[in-house]
Amino acid sequence: MFRTISALAFCGLLLCLSSGRGEADFFSQSLAASAPFRDSRLLGDLDVYARLDFKKAFAVSATRSSWGWSYGYRNQNAANRAALRHCERNSGTECLLYAVGDSQVWDRAEVAAARARALPAAAEQGSVWRYYGEERTHDVPLVLPSDAPSIISDYQSERGVLGGLRSMNTAIRPRHTGIDILAKAGAPVLAAADGIVRVADFRRVAGYRINIVHQDKPGGPPEKDSLVTVYLHLEEVFVAPGERVKRGQRIGTVGTSGKGAVPELPHLHFGTLRSNPHLHGHDGPGRVTCFVPGRRYAKDQTALTYPLACGTRLAGRP
């Protein structure tokens, strides 16, 4: 009887929150509370709402140094506990259950702000961000110029640009096939070398994307094993399939298109098909080479320059 009354009371609370204004206040208070929001009875009652697709949760550490996210659970209680466990494993501190259910239960702006607070205190330029002690994820030592936009999720990393694991399933956890480079939305995306546009289209996860084929011999026909560079999550695309492009040519702009993008942290996903992009640096493996208009570069189309301009400060980063 008591659990039934509790469930009905919580249902009434959800109905109040769904009206819009009260939902952010409820979760803001739980986040600001000195003690973690962990009412076991309330968490248990959330199981009643599994049929309403309340099957994901978001938790933030009490020190706001980390966060945890869970999704895809059939049981809301399990989703809540997974988010708390994930957050506490990453931060080593107590965590607060900040949001449960789908987007109608929490305020998107508040969640975005909480996620932004959990980002590492890393430089916007000249660095590679490492999350929770993550070691170098590949065997190519990197050298970035001090004014090169920072890499915020490196090649083969298990973590995305907000530090979360790319999959909660450790048996099939995917690793990053490219590098994510921090950038302001709308920033020019540059061709990394001369080549021919193979793909310029839209995909559900990748968003607006461009693939460019680079030949070992300039002017030669595209070969099956040619180097191909990939640019994802674009806002605009300025080239078409079959078009020849030059190194440093503006081919698009940075955006947040596709389900794989992160609106809170615009970035360019850049990679090379079937290989580590760091192996193809213009000045040698692991050496990021900024594109400078007027500089003479090697004619080798597999020697790549950085796909974003160096020296541009970011504006409006949370």
Class of domain 122-318: mainly beta
**Rounded Cα–Cα distance for residues 226 and 209 (Å):** 19
Per-residue pLDDT at 171: 62
Report the DSSP beta bridge partners of residue 179: 270
Give the number of other CB atoms < 10 A from CB of residue 290. 19
What pLDDT score was predicted for residue 110? 55
pLDDT for residue 185: 93
Tell me how far apart the alpha carbons of residues 175 and 165 are, in angstroms, rounded to a whole number. 10
Q: Which residues does 34 contact at the CB level (< 8 Å), separation at least 6?
A: none
Tokens 């850049």 belong to: 270
Q: Could you give the 3-state DSSP secondary structure of residue 4? A: helix
Q: What is the pLDDT of residues 45-68, one digit of tens each?
A: 444 443 344 467 777 776 656 677
For 126, other C-beta atoms within 10 Å of its C-beta total: 17
Residue 122 has phi, psi (to 5 degrees) of: -115, 155
Helix (H) or strand (E) holding 212: strand 207-214
pLDDT along the chain (318 residues), means of 10: 38 34 36 41 41 61 68 73 79 71 49 58 85 80 94 89 66 82 95 96 95 73 78 98 97 94 88 95 96 94 96 60
Q: For 39-61, what is the HEC assignment?
A: CHHHHHHHHHHHHHCCCCEEEEE
Q: Is the pTM of this model over 0.75?
A: no
* Residue 70, pLDDT score: 75
**Domain residues of the chain, as ranges?**
2-117, 122-318
The confidence score (pLDDT) of residue 5 equals 38
pLDDT for 244 equals 96
Distances from the Cα of 17 to the Cαs of 3, 20, 25, 107, in angstroms? 21, 6, 9, 10
**The pair of three-digit structure tokens given for residue 213, joined into one six-digit string:** 């084929």
